[in-house]
Copies of this chain bind each other. A is one copy, B any other.
């Protein structure tokens, strides 16, 4: 990992430079094409090449993460132009950094040899991240090229779910024995010559690779050289198991401020480590995917994906919403007679439904957050529902009152105002109840309450709002 200050400061500048160079390159190509065959070769070989060299130089200076960023921000054609200029030995790193959607476009542009060359640069745990996107034959060749230990590691890494500890762990572990002195340990370090990224601690194991403790580098450098590893190590390290969910691990990393932590199997045998940067990537990806799901985007969408691909990505959500809207529409249909008599009902009913949806989503957001933080459970469910119903009743009376007055002012019908107020209060109560019950039920049945709750709440408060308002109007105003 190179830590270059220059690249941090000028990331958007870099993007702009790449685009300018690409545009020049394009201009030259157009020029060449238009000048028919005359001095084609001359121009091509001089101006064109010079441009590409400048671009290539620029790319070589950039951190892999920054090249990835630039690739993401370019439309497909330009993206592939840039991709071809990237040095082969960096392909692997960059493929790991780009999003799934963009990675697929890059891999589609590579042949088997290029893919194998890219894969050779990667560690086993990185290969595991790349593997699902690789063509089957490439993956097979890759397997054949690995030694026994790495093949076993890749196989086990592939067997874990992406959102498990096994899916985010790596194998860059430095182990030592507990009976040596710190001086010997330091001599061993110097013999290694370099330590993996993020190494903040060494793992202390016995000869069967059973984890006995961890020795933070911090302790290694401040303690007496004559002390033994066993004296100085922490025996009660936080450990994880490969099949634990990664989000629990993320919480533990935050709670206990970890940088790296050992991963052990059921026999306490050391099998890998989790690093804070893998955890941060995981947290970021989870947050992104939550945001996308909440708007019904099934997966991250390449910004420059084809229209047809985007339609496919988004259609399920629209179809679901269409269904719930149709149900609400049929509820209104039941009351067409009432609407014909008092047409004002048609203008007022969306307000009742809309505010119910907003209020219900506020409640759900609170509950989903409480579930995520582990603070909502059976022991406080009663007091939560009571509180939310109280908030809804108060809001219902306040906003229902305001709306009742407005309805009366607009249509000069006092009873219409009363119906409006009552409908608002009742729909907000329904919204509050559903706002608690829906996410809790989804959680109970193992669904992610952050994703589907909002659609369900809105469906209930829409249909419910129409039913309550038009129903009350039919009873009291007809």
A residues whose Cβ falls under 8 Å from a Cβ of B: 1-6, 8, 11-12, 15-16, 19, 63, 65-66, 69, 72-73, 75, 186, 189-190, 192-195, 197-200, 217-218, 220-224, 234, 236-239, 252-259, 276-277, 279-281, 283-284, 287-288, 291-292, 294-297, 301, 303-305, 307-308, 310-311, 314-315, 317-319, 321-322, 325-326, 328-330, 332-333, 336, 339-340, 343-351, 353-355, 358-359, 361-362, 364-366, 369-370, 373-377, 379-380, 383-384, 387, 390-391, 394-395, 398-399, 402-403, 406, 410, 462, 466
Q: Is there contact, CB below 8 Å, between A325 and B346?
A: no
Please judge, given known A-B contacts A5-B236, A190-B224, A257-B1, whether A322 and B355 are in contact too, CB under 8 Å: yes
Please judge, given known A-B contacts A238-B5, A291-B369, whether A355 and B325 are in contact too, CB under 8 Å: yes
Q: How many copies does the complex hold?
A: 2
Residue of B nearest to A23 (CB): B379
Q: Is there contact, CB below 8 Å, between A390 and B307?
A: yes
The 4 A-B residue pairs whose C-beta atoms are closest, nearest first, are A295-B365, A346-B346, A307-B390, A332-B347
Expressed in whole angstroms, the Cα–Cα distance for A72 and B259 within the complex equals: 26
Expressed in whole angstroms, the Cα–Cα distance for A238 and B4 within the complex equals: 6
Expressed in whole angstroms, the Cα–Cα distance for A333 and B347 within the complex equals: 6
User: Inside 8 A of A190's CB, which chain B residues have their CB?
Assistant: 221-224
Q: Is there contact, CB below 8 Å, between B296 and A362?
A: yes
User: Inside 8 A of A194's CB, which chain B residues have their CB?
Assistant: 218, 222
Please judge, given known A-B contacts A259-B198, A318-B358, whether A254 and B238 are in contact too, CB under 8 Å: no
Residue of B nearest to A194 (CB): B222
Cβ of A399 to closest chain B Cβ, rounded Å:
6
